[in-house]
Amino acid sequence: MKIAFTSEGTSWDSLIDPRFGRTENIVLYNEESKELTSVDNSAVKNDAHGAGTATAQKIFELKPDVLITGNGPGENAAKALKHINMRIFVDAHNLTVQQAYNNFKSGNLKEV
């Protein structure tokens, strides 16, 4: 399974970024290859509108099976993610990517 996280940094110790559209980075973990990669999302910050949809498009290109974030995507982004049947888990605020992953595996995160 491939899992995407909205993250402030690029490593397992980085904190989950509670925002979706304006998240600093998207961290991707591939369970099969055990590889952790990341995509810089900071270019989206300058956009007045459409940060959510822009980030949704990025997520689509990475093709994860699951998205883990804090607040959850806003209305527009949610529509876009629904279109690609993305499973979204929220309430990972104040956790590191590692902790969020553990919580996900043990079923402690809320799915929307």
Partner 1 sequence: MKEIVVISGKGGTGKTSITASFAVLGSVDVVVADCDVDAADMHLLMQPDYDFAEDFYSGEVAYIDQNNCISCGKCVDVCRFDAISVKNKLFVVDPISCEGCGYCARVCPTKTIVNKNRLAGKWYISNIKTGSIMVHARLGIGADNSGKLVAKVKNEAKEIAMEGRKGFILVDGSPGIGCPVVSSLSGANFVVLVTEPSVSGLHDLKRVYELVKKINIKAGCIINKADVNPEKCAEIVQFLIENDIVHLTDLPYDENFTRAMVLGQTMVEYDHGILKELLTESWEKIKQLVIN
Partner 2 sequence: MTDRKPLKIAIASGKGGTGKTTLSTNLAAFIAEQQEVVLVDLDVEEPNSGLFFKGELIHEEAIFKMIPQWDESKCTLCGICPKVCNYHAVIQLGPSILVFPELCHSCYACSELCPADALPMIPKKTGTLRDFQIGNLHFVESRLDIGEEQAVPLISKTKKYVADKYGDVGIAIFDSPPGTSCPVMEATKDADFVILVTEPTPFGLHDLSLAVETMRALNRPFGVVVNRYGIGNYEVITYCREENILVLAKISNNRKIAELYSSGKLMYQDFPEVKKSLSNILDY
> Which of partner 2, partner 1, none lies near 79, with the C-beta cut-off 5 to 8 A by kind?
partner 2
The verdict on 88 binding partner 1 (CB under 8 A) reads: no
Close Cβ partners of 35 (under 8 Å, ≥ 6 residues apart): 29
Q: Which residue type is seen at 67?
A: L
> Which of partner 1, partner 2, none lies near 83, with the C-beta cut-off 5 to 8 A by kind?
partner 2
Q: Are 87 and 111 in contact (CB under 8 A)?
A: yes
The verdict on 83 binding partner 2 (CB under 8 A) reads: yes
Residue 30 phi/psi, 5-degree rounding, is -100, 110
Q: Which two tokens stand for residue 45?
A: 């910050």
Shortest Å, Cβ 101 to partner 2:
25
Per CB under 8 A, residues contacting partner 2 are 47-54, 56-57, 60, 76, 79-80, 83-84
